[in-house]
Amino acid sequence: MMKGVPKTLLLTVALLAWAFSLASAFDPSPLQDFCVAINDTSSDHAVFVNGKFCKDPKLATANDFFFSGLDTPRDTSNPLGSNVTLLNVDKILGLNTLGISLARIDFAPYGLNPPHIHPRGTEILVVLEGSLLVGFVTSNPDNRFFSKVLNAGDVFVFPIGLIHFQFNVGKTNAVAFAGLSSQNPGLITIANAVFGSNPPINPDVLAKAFQLDRNVVNYLQKKF
């Protein structure tokens, strides 16, 4: 249990995630009680499926639906000052076909979870500790910016596929939990995708798109 975090708040997070999956799950509905994923298909020519292969339900165990250690603070000593621990189908195999995942987000003072999108999932976030400036931007042509400062116990929703961020505006660490409406919501960090693509996007394209000097684009591409 995290120091100073009441059990009722953690229970709220769990209930929010559960209710969210029932109401807004983006993934297809399961056709059986569960479908525990198999990561190793033991074949170099395995067929790819939209999701993961399932083990025989008779071979499933409680550990297929279990993860321990989400109460432990994560290391935020990086340039962004944040650390996201995502529990998706790769971490909890029993999530396969269930249309939900969970994330813990740790922030150092003034740490940032940079602008990004989840192409396959809506996100609902609850702050457990600290104060976060959060926001998302709608699609073209309006590009409306919705923003709010959240404190412990506050909840905010980021619609599927929209650019959003979280920024710790406090002088102390912050912690938030998020439920996502997909077993594998995906992540595209905007700066990394644009300036750190492999192979790099032609600098002339980015210079024109962002109305930047080509030397600035070259610098950003080297940085990312």
**Residue carrying structure tokens 């990394």:** 192
Q: Which letter, b or e, does each residue of 100-126 get, where b requires 16 or more Cβ atoms within 10 Å of its Cβ? A: bbbbbbbbbeebbbebbbbebbbbbbb
Retrieve residue 121's tokens: 């999932």
pTM: 0.83
**Rounded to 10 degrees, what is the CA torsion of 135, 76, 13, 114?**
20
Quote the CA–CA distance of 192 and 215 in Å, as a whole number: 18
pLDDT of residue 24: 47
Query: Per-residue confidence of the chain (224 residues) as pLDDT tens digits?
Result: 555 556 666 666 665 655 554 444 556 666 567 788 887 766 555 556 667 888 899 999 999 999 999 999 999 999 999 999 999 999 999 999 899 999 999 999 999 999 999 999 999 999 999 999 999 999 999 999 999 999 999 999 999 999 999 999 999 999 999 999 999 999 999 999 999 999 999 999 999 999 999 999 999 999 99
Burial of 4 (0-12, 13-18, 19+ CB in 10 A): exposed
pLDDT at 111: 98
C-beta of residue 130 within 8 angstroms of C-beta of residue 175: yes
pLDDT for 22: 47
CB atoms < 10 A from the CB of 21, how many?
22
Name 129's Cβ contacts closer than 8 Å, sequence gap at least 6: 2, 4, 5, 152, 172, 173, 174, 175
Count the neighbouring beta carbons within 10 Å of the beta carbon of residue 48: 8
- Exposure of 125 in the CB half-sphere (CA atoms within 13 A): 33
Query: For position 53, what pLDDT does the model report?
Result: 86
DSSP H/E element including 178: strand 174-180
* Nearest CA among 69, 71, 74, 70 for reference residue 2: 71
* CA 112 – CA 176 distance, rounded (Å): 12
The CA radius of gyration of the chain, in Å to the nearest whole number, is 19
Question: What is the per-residue pLDDT for 50?
Answer: 66
